[in-house]
């Protein structure tokens, strides 16, 4: 290669980049869809999806799918490093996981349900941010959910009563204007 002081339009900025690295080898789990047609596999470790394999199990297409959480002032959390993780199977008959990643200080938790779609080449992850409620002297529970001033979409929520280990059984929506 001869350097002549002009940018090379065939090479990306920063080429060649860093070397590709594998993820953590001691995974907590590996899953696929329960269908012979599914060619998607994923691995899980420390509360996050670590790799997604497609179209074959020797080709990772994604590494470390996780959330970065901050209040913008006092903390910044990397989901796999800073949160406490609990992993469980969705059921005995479903090839998927439920993972609860909790802030050690008790400010929030993130609940994710993850499965591979049996009909499409994709991994589906449903995520819920769980905010604990506070009880007033009147015995009324409330939740202070910080929202951005630019918030336009409604907020959908329900309650889980930890003392009774049960869901409210009703979904609520608050419009933000």
Which band of pLDDT confidence, cut at 50, 70 and 90, is reported for residue 141?
low
The pLDDT, as a whole number, for residue 1 is 46
Following DSSP, what letter does each residue of 88-123 receive, concatenated? EEEETTEEEEEEEEE-TTSS-EEEEEEEE-SSSS-E
Phi and psi, residue 164, nearest 5° = -100, -5
pLDDT winner (highest mean) among 70-84, 129-143, 161-175: 70-84
> Half-sphere exposure (CA, 13 Å, Cβ side) for 130?
17
* Tens-place pLDDT, residues 56-95: 888 788 888 888 888 778 888 999 899 999 999 888 888 8
Which band of pLDDT confidence, cut at 50, 70 and 90, is reported for residue 17?
low
Domain boundaries, the chain: 22-130, 133-177
Overall CATH class of domain 22-130: mainly beta
């Amino acid at each position: 290669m001869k350097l002549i002081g002009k940018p090379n339009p065939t090479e990306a900025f920063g080429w060649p980049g860093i070397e590709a690295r594998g993820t953590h080898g001691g995974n907590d789990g590996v899953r696929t869809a329960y269908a012979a047609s599914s060619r998607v596999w994923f691995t899980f470790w420390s509360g996050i999806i670590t790799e997604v394999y497609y179209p074959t199990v020797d080709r990772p297409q994604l590494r470390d799918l996780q959330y970065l959480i901050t209040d913008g002032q006092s903390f910044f959390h990397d989901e796999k490093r800073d949160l406490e993780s609990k992993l469980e199977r969705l059921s005995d008959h479903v090839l998927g996981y439920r993972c609860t990643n909790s802030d050690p200080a008790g400010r929030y938790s993130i609940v994710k349900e993850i499965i591979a779609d049996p009909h499409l080449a994709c991994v589906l992850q449903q995520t819920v941010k769980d905010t604990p409620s506070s009880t007033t002297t009147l015995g009324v529970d409330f939740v202070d959910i910080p929202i951005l001033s630019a918030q336009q979409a409604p907020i959908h929520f329900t309650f889980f009563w930890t003392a009774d280990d049960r869901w409210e059984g009703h979904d609520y929506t608050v419009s933000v204007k």
